[in-house]
Structure 1
Amino acid sequence: MPAPRYKQLVDRFAEQIRSGALPPGTRLPTHRTLAKEEHLALATASRVYAELESMGLISAEVGRGTFVRETRVSPGQGIDQSPTAPDMLDLNFNHPELPEQTELLRTALRQLAASGDLDALLHYQPHAGRPHERAIVAEHLSTRGLAVTAEQLMLVSGAQHGLAVALMSTLRAGDVIAADALTYPGFKAIAQLLHLEVLAIPAGKAGPDLMALDALCQHRKIRALYCMPTLHNPLGWVMPRAQRKKLAALARQHDLLLIEDAAYAFLADAPPPPLYNFAPERTLYVSGFSKSVATGLRVGYLVAPINRVASLQRTIRATTWNTPALLTRITCSWISDGTVQQLEQQKRSDAAARQQLARRVLHGLPWQGHPNAYFLWLRLPATVRAEQVVSALLQRNVSVSSAAPFVVGEHTPQAIRLALGSLDITRLESALYQVRAVLEAAECGALG
């Protein structure tokens, strides 16, 4: 028995896409044109495209059309995957590291081996961390303008775990949370896992559009807002103090829980006080030491109003029981002897140098970013498709991310994010010149 007509069309398109007969970025006929050409009902033509989209082979964009995706790249354009090829130039995933960090770890392990009370590290720890270590991290946060008690601070297994704990303990399946229209992919992954509905807030000049947020809150029951007020990923903004005050007032007006992600906040020079300071009774502050020290050092922290701590601790208990004692011991030792502060300062300088290099190589292109950020957002010309750029760069052994992993809502801008923190400076410069060459070829229509 032959397959239904629409299935035959799906198979034909799929074969053409996978064989390269329909290359990435190709605009497909409109639904009506396809229906007319293939003598189909409009609903059947729409069904063909819906199935191809569910297979990850095409993408539909409101007001622009339907386009072939790059099938050799994962649907998320690889933002959560490190390149597998040994010669790949990685502008996709950030793991900033300084040359001396390996020796710092070697020294720390020797000192730990010579210290007393090693037996304590073999035992279960308190769910929120040992009290004296919580106090050390709280004191560290005071240097960033965040004055909290050790009782308000919980140690977690990295900022991603802290974010998961914050969402799991405060929201339930079906709850609505707002977020920037472009936001951190790790947040999106947790929200999807927890079956939360995420609504997009468009961007203003230096932060979310608060008028749009207010209007949205008047029409929907929004429980929380996820935001990155200090060094936003991927756009690099730092929300001004006045806007933070307005956001705090808006949160009180609509009874919003604020979840403040400060993973990259250490890179900003003299930023405004954390959003937490403007609404401490309704803000959860999440960060960690993965970016400021090392990505393999899975130690983070979660700060909360005291009345929420017990619930958050129960979620920590249910997910990891406690942070690994060995890692928290090393981290707190490095905080106490000034190593963390030194690394943060060095990484600010390192990120600034990489940012300056990127801006020099990409001069004249429409980039957006913070002067100290380890990433840069690059808008593409209206005639250039992100999938084409990603594909062409992969052929040159350069890995980048399209806008897709960062998008909340339906509109996916044609843009790429460049991670600047994973290559040595010479290879970074080479990779950036490759990006420029591909973009210039794409604008001239030379990518095919």
Structure 2
Amino acid sequence: MRAERYKAVALEMATSIRAGDLPAGTRLPTHRELAHERGIALATATKVYRELAAAGLIVGEPGRGTFVRDLSGFAGMEPRRLPVDTRVADLSFNQPLAAEQGEHLRHALRDMACEGDLGSLLAQQPPGGRSTDTAAVATYLLDRGIDVPPHNVLLTAGAQHALDVILAATTTPGSTLVADELTYPGLKLLADSRCLDLAAVRCSPDGTDLKSLEKLARTRKISVVYVMPTVHNPLGFVLDAGRRQRLVTLARRHDFAIIEDATYAFLDPGSPAPIQTLAPERTFYVGSFSKNVATGLRAGYLVAPDPDRIRLIRALRTTTWGTSSLSTALVTRWLRDGSVTRLEKTRREDAKQRQAIARRAFQGFDYHAHPASYSGWIHLPSEIRSDQAAHRLAQDGILISTGDAFAVGSASPNAVRIALANPTIHELPRLLDRCRDALSTL
């Protein structure tokens, strides 16, 4: 079979999909059935489907088959955005912001303008931040059980920047990066941009399947494992202390590093001790002030193991060099005066109220969420396609996220994630009722 044969079959099927001859939601033949129908080898049929999936035309779902995707563009990793004048609500992304925060910012900026050396905010910070600022973050981390000197705290332009810096310092093209089979979409983008081999381990609303990780570690050399042990995105689980310790045992046995993403950890202050406290020599602890303070600040941090600090600083120099002096000044000011702690408490109470509303709205659905998180995960019944659900809601001006945005690999769950933070608490019940009605009538 000539190598070009699979491309010819893929092109023919792609043309049929784009022309509407194979409409969205059509269940395609199995790989074996396609091979028989087209008179091609099974391996060639697999290449055909891989080509179509890479083009965003089809999606495979474990145990269900391969389907033609809705091509309206409202599903997937980077969905279309509606024009502002037609958008009713964005439930695809969380930007929590309390009504009083604008005035809080106004007072902080006024106070900063009237005290100290304002010109110093125009000077470039050293990579990783000034010692006084890293000390403020180190003090803040004591409440999470992390006791490290300011020397080990490096400031970044958000958690995404921190992740990129860590991968730049610890991996090379072709290195194996492991994550849950449902994970933070930004990690997938970073793995692709750095040419890493992103491998998946099974997970469920109960947590990461460490037996799956152990099996993978026995057969492949793993460089880094990325986890969200406290308030996982998108499933909302919290790993118990036993699983955290077993993960550390595996990391030491198979000699891989751990990235602990704690972006949402503030939502569950009663969670078990961070993995960083169990294995500080190989754990990179990442946090940000996007979800607990404001997404526009683009301020974050990482706690660096001693042996890796110099490499991380070098990686910081090659990216943004350092963080914005103004953002850092605002964040550390609010850390010192207790504003961040108060905001986090407000966020937790707000998230609990929103989750209660969501659970009522989606009663009867296969709904999973942490009781104090800002999102919920819905496994859809087989007769409802997630991409078609996203299209239908987008027509009503409501944006949601589909499961394939979070899936590692070509197989995707038939699920959606609903973000709860953006609408007002008074608008949320009506919006979620509209989502429920749309999902019930497709």
Please indicate the TM-score interval, normalised by the length of the shorter structure. Answer: over 0.9
Give the root-mean-square deviation of aligned CA atoms: 2.3
The corresponding residue for 2:105 is 105
**What is the TM-score when the length of structure 1 is the normalising length?**
0.91
How far off its partner does 1:390 sit? 1.4
Contact 1:52–1:58 (CA under 8 A) maintained in structure 2: yes
Unmatched segments (≥5 aa) in structure 1: 443-448
The corresponding residue for 2:39 is 41
How far off its partner does 1:382 sit? 2.5
Contact 1:403–1:416 (CA under 8 A) maintained in structure 2: yes
The corresponding residue for 2:318 is 318
The residue type equivalent to 2:336 in the other structure is S
The residue type equivalent to 1:128 in the other structure is G
What SS class does the counterpart of residue 167 from structure 2 fall into? helix
**What is the TM-score when the length of structure 2 is the normalising length?**
0.92
Change (3 A) 1:95 1:221: same
* Corresponding pairs, count: 436
CA distance in 2, matches of 1:347, 1:311: 35
Q: Is 1:403 matched up with 2:403? A: yes
Deviations 1:115-147 (A, max 9, x none): 121121111111110101100110011011111
Once structures 1 and 2 are overlaid, which stretch shifts more, 90-99 or 242-251? Answer: 242-251
Contact 2:157–2:323 (CA under 8 A) maintained in structure 1: yes
What SS class does the counterpart of residue 143 from structure 1 fall into? helix
Structural mapping, 1:37-436, within 5 Å: 40-43=38-41, 49-61=49-61, 63-73=63-73, 76-78=76-78, 83-86=82-85, 87-203=87-203, 206-436=206-436
Change (3 A) 1:47 1:205: closer
How far off its partner does 1:114 sit? 0.9
Change (3 A) 1:54 1:170: closer
Deviations 1:350-391 (A, max 9, x none): 111111100011112110110000010001112322122112
Contact 1:231–1:370 (CA under 8 A) maintained in structure 2: yes
What SS class does the counterpart of residue 417 from structure 1 fall into? strand
Change (3 A) 1:15 1:254: closer
Unmatched segments (≥5 aa) in structure 2: none
CA distance in 2, matches of 1:83, 1:377: 22
Contact 1:82–1:92 (CA under 8 A) maintained in structure 2: no
What SS class does the counterpart of residue 113 from structure 2 fall into? helix
Change (3 A) 1:213 1:70: same
The residue type equivalent to 1:354 in the other structure is R
CA distance in 1, matches of 2:10, 2:179: 35
Deviations 1:382-438 (A, max 9, x none): 232212211211122211111101111343111101111111123322221122112
The residue type equivalent to 2:56 in the other structure is G
Change (3 A) 1:33 1:433: same
The residue type equivalent to 1:357 in the other structure is I
Once structures 1 and 2 are overlaid, which stretch shifts more, 379-388 or 230-239? Answer: 379-388
How far off its partner does 1:161 sit? 0.4
Change (3 A) 1:119 1:265: same
Contact 2:62–2:412 (CA under 8 A) maintained in structure 1: no
What SS class does the counterpart of residue 438 from structure 1 fall into? helix
What SS class does the counterpart of residue 138 from structure 2 fall into? helix
What SS class does the counterpart of residue 345 from structure 1 fall into? helix
The corresponding residue for 1:440 is 440
